[in-house]
Structure 1
Amino acid sequence: MESYESLGPVGEGSYGTVLKCRHRESGRLVAIKKFMDSDEDKTVKKIALREIKLLRQLRHDNLVNLLMVWKRRRRWYLVFEFVDRTLLEDLEQNPNGLDLNTCRQYMFQILRAATFCHQQNVIHRDIKPENILISQEGVVKLCDFGFARTIASPSEVYTDYVATRWYRAPELLVGDIKYGKPVDVWALGCLLIEVLTGQPLFPGDSDLDQIYHIVKCFGNLVTHHQELFYRNPIFSGVKLPESSSTVPLQGISSVQLIVSQRCLDMDPEGRAQCSELLDHLFFTQDSFHIRFLEQLNAKIQKEHIENSTLPKITRSPGQERSKVDEKNSRGKDKKHPEDMDEKVNKDKIEKMKGKQPSQVSKHIHNNNNNNTFYLKVPFRTPKVTLHKTRNKIQ
């Protein structure tokens, strides 16, 4: 960190802090995500390594791209190009929602990002306004991959407690541990309505209240999810919210209603794929998708050119020493599962221990000459905090 001048925090969470910094030699602004002591906390270590791994794997114009990574004194540091605006900030400045053209531009790019992730067999699992960055040119970047993961084989299961509550699909709320890409599609449907109206669709203050909001709007949970609810010890002795009538979505047009319903099907199997949504009338009417894609490519190219002229950030001697420290400490990190979320048998986990840190480090050290376009990623806040009128909840 000696190479950077800290200009103050831009985000804080249970796993660390994001700082706005200036590179002392080049003067370039960056955002640095500084994790807590990852060697002491296995959860922090897991999240840091997973985010690094996936950001190295995923390259797309609508995804945040990693600029530099190093580890020093048992902490991971992730460096991104600084961007000071998120979709949440846009929504707070427009409490009645964004205009239709801006909404379509943003959602089209978010869907491009999600489509690419799903094509790479990766689910994000935490799509929300805080995790969507917007550049001055209007280029959108999906960020924060700490809770993203590669889709497992059908026999493997995931943790059920992911995604910020307001954007959590019914299968996650009831504790399903076999889910997939549709959880992202549900979050995108919630996001679409929020961008159009300016208000969160399902602002539940507990998982049970969240289920109540959903049932009130779309009717009772599917049979399988009802069974999971009553088998979940968290809801022991609690009656599942039910509804004899529903309150339809309001404040949106018929076309907007149709595309949102394609995302917000109570049955995950009934939800559209992200690639299908890109071809929906919401984006294709008046040839919007053709016109905007040309504009978007021009904006992306412009930003690439501007960033290619910025001074390059090189490693300081202190960072070079951190490489040596990291190499020497690898032998101490002998046991760490690649993904502690996986509820697989203990023998399989034991075989996985010790492999991931060295693999990630190998990729990191080859990253110095990467000239890809990068943006900042705001830090995820897993615990309940207040951000004006919006709750940030894990």
Structure 2
Amino acid sequence: MASKSRWATDDDPETEAILAQRKREKDEKRRAKAEKQRQLDEQQQARAQQESDPHPKKRRRLSNDHEQDPSITTTPTNNTSTTTHESTILPFPTQEWGPCRNVSNFERLNHIEEGSYGFVSRAKDITTGEIVALKKLKMDNSPDGFPVTGLREIQTLLEARHQNIIDLREVVMGDKLDEVYLVMPFLEHDLKTLLDDMSEPFLPSETKTILHQILSGLDFLHDQWIMHRDLKTSNLLLNNRGEVKIADFGMARYYGDPPPKLTQLVVTLWYRAPELLLGAEKYATEIDMWSIGCIFGELLTKEPLLQGKNEVEQVSKIFALTGPPTPQTWPDFRSLPNAKSLRLPPSSSASAGNPPLLPRGKFPFLTNAGLHMLSSLLALNPGARLSTKECLAHRYFREDPRPKPKEMFPTFPSKAGMEKRRRRETPEAPKRGQEAPKLDFASVFGGQGGGEAGEQGAGFTLRLG
């Protein structure tokens, strides 16, 4: 009997139905694939046409709402839908552009201080009730337009986002074009006012906490190639949570490597580095580190370390503290413009160390590690000064007592917040010549001072006589 060929088909209707179903599925897949390829070709043609046309006919849609986007087409194919986008724009979270708010949205509470580049006031946001600091920029010295100091401060604050740097919330306008205000968080104290009101300086652990935060914020600035150029205690703010923030960036600016030629009239006189006083025009972050050394000394003594009345007296006070410069301690000293006419006393003996240590009698309660760090910050030679990273890693912060946690930092009444120190009513001392009063102690234990033999007290009876 001849075997049946495996290619032969039976006339079974069930088998024929299965084969027909498979054929239909293949045809549907073939049509879906062809439709998808056609749509891809249309997309490529549309992109090529948009790239070749510099002026598109339709404005690009910036919203990611695909439900109302007419450029999205849906093609159904046998209970399957294919979504096609003519152009896909990736949405990125950005700040919304709009007009500045008016200063009338803030209720000014009291004036805080006047700085070199603005007036600072305490104010309340009427909408949220939040207490903020309003700084009105000074426009008097800028007849040609917006002051460059204000532009630098706004640019620097927008770029420098750090926990130890003051935050710029927004810029608001007044009724006139020359009324520009910076809105910043309100901090209760500045270190200068706080040190003036304190009867004693900060504890060593508190000094380390403050100094470490200042160095952390300054380290971030230097990593961003920003020099502050006006560090002093009045520009360092402290809140009641023990957080220190660097403020007042009116003199801040970017620098490069090698440093560009810059103006030498920067930094408040008492915190100005010696190379600036002697006419240096090229400098970098070393001038900020000298200011940190002056602030460090002020935290220790509660008084500004170098209080000169003018540049000449300031230089003399610096040399009286650090000693006169020598070829060993400051090799490039004579190359500065104002140093050529300076007459130095003959040096008796070479100081030990480079840089030499400051006199111990000026800082009697400072440890050896702290004195080494302070001497390195106040080194006459800019190249010998410590950087922010070297200071943060210094052993001074690792020895006992350790920096006090911010949560345990003491609080003080805020002058800027119009807070007054609470004074308890205490009796005055007796006046001389005053007669002693006649006293009747019969009512000490609740009696009425009569002639009764028994007096009722607080839960007991006292029998007199």
TM-score tier by shorter-chain length is 0.5 to 0.7
Distance 2:400 2:321 in 1: 31
Query: 1:39 Cα shift?
Result: 8.7
Q: Residue 50 of structure 1 corresponds to which residue in structure 2?
A: 152
Change in Cα spacing, 1:181 to 1:14, as seen in structure 2 (3 Å) is: closer
Q: Residue 303 of structure 1 corresponds to which residue in structure 2?
A: none
Matched AA of 2:334: Q
Matched, 1:120 2:224: yes
Matched, 1:11 2:113: yes
Matched, 1:77 2:185: no
Query: 1:285 Cα shift?
Result: 1.3
Q: Residue 109 of structure 1 corresponds to which residue in structure 2?
A: 213
Query: 1:77 Cα shift?
Result: 1.1
- Which structure 2 residues correspond to residues 83-232 of structure 1 after superposition, within 5 A? 83-94=187-198, 96-154=200-258, 156-221=260-325, 222-230=330-338
Please list every run of 5 or more consecutive structure 2 residues that lacks an aligned counterpart in the other structure: 1-102, 352-357, 409-415, 417-465
Range with greater deviation from structure 2 (263-272 or 89-98): 89-98
Query: 1:218 Cα shift?
Result: 1.4
Range with greater deviation from structure 2 (3-12 or 51-60): 3-12
Change in Cα spacing, 1:211 to 1:96, as seen in structure 2 (3 Å) is: farther
Q: Residue 28 of structure 1 corresponds to which residue in structure 2?
A: 130
Query: 1:227 Cα shift?
Result: 3.5
Distance 1:43 1:95 in 2: 46
Change in Cα spacing, 1:7 to 1:189, as seen in structure 2 (3 Å) is: same
Query: 1:136 Cα shift?
Result: 0.5
Would you say the 8 A contact 1:38–1:75 is kept in 2? no
Query: 1:89 Cα shift?
Result: 2.0
Q: Which has the larger radius of gyration?
A: 2
Deviation per CA, 1:152-194: give whole Å up to 9, x if none: 3426211101111111111111110100011111111111111
Matched AA of 1:100: P
Deviation per CA, 1:326-345: give whole Å up to 9, x if none: xxxxxxxxxxxxxxxxxxxx
Query: 1:29 Cα shift?
Result: 1.1
Q: Residue 276 of structure 1 corresponds to which residue in structure 2?
A: 390
Change in Cα spacing, 1:217 to 1:137, as seen in structure 2 (3 Å) is: same
Distance 1:248 1:61 in 2: 35
Would you say the 8 A contact 1:97–1:199 is kept in 2? no
Matched AA of 2:109: L
Change in Cα spacing, 1:213 to 1:242, as seen in structure 2 (3 Å) is: farther
Change in Cα spacing, 1:64 to 1:155, as seen in structure 2 (3 Å) is: closer
Distance 1:74 1:231 in 2: 42
Query: 1:97 Cα shift?
Result: 2.1
Would you say the 8 A contact 1:96–1:198 is kept in 2? yes
Partner of 1:2, secondary structure, is helix
Q: Residue 377 of structure 2 corresponds to which residue in structure 1?
A: 263
Query: 1:229 Cα shift?
Result: 4.1
Partner of 1:78, secondary structure, is strand
Would you say the 8 A contact 1:20–1:30 is kept in 2? yes
Change in Cα spacing, 1:87 to 1:14, as seen in structure 2 (3 Å) is: closer
Higher RCO (CA < 8 A, seq sep 6+): 1
Query: 1:36 Cα shift?
Result: 2.7
Please list every run of 5 or more consecutive structure 1 residues that lacks an aligned counterpart in the other structure: 233-237, 300-375, 377-394
Distance 1:274 1:201 in 2: 21
Distance 1:39 1:96 in 2: 40
What TM-score, normalized by structure 2, do the two folds share? 0.58
Query: 1:38 Cα shift?
Result: 6.5
Pairwise CA RMSD of aligned residues? 2.6
Matched, 1:251 2:355: no
Q: Residue 304 of structure 1 corresponds to which residue in structure 2?
A: none
Matched AA of 1:18: V
Would you say the 8 A contact 2:271–2:306 is kept in 1? yes
Distance 1:14 1:133 in 2: 17
Would you say the 8 A contact 1:38–1:44 is kept in 2? no
Change in Cα spacing, 1:209 to 1:43, as seen in structure 2 (3 Å) is: farther
Query: 1:146 Cα shift?
Result: 0.8
Distance 1:230 1:40 in 2: 30
Count of matched residue positions in the alignment of Structure 1 and Structure 2: 291
Query: 1:42 Cα shift?
Result: 5.4
Would you say the 8 A contact 2:172–2:181 is kept in 1? yes
Deviation per CA, 1:241-274: give whole Å up to 9, x if none: 6574798252242222111011111110001111
- Percent pairwise identity: 31
Change in Cα spacing, 1:216 to 1:57, as seen in structure 2 (3 Å) is: same
- Which structure 2 residues correspond to residues 338-357 of structure 1 after superposition, within 5 A? none
What TM-score, normalized by structure 1, do the two folds share? 0.68
Partner of 1:103, secondary structure, is helix
Query: 1:101 Cα shift?
Result: 1.1
Deviation per CA, 1:9-32: give whole Å up to 9, x if none: 111134331111112222211111
Partner of 1:288, secondary structure, is coil
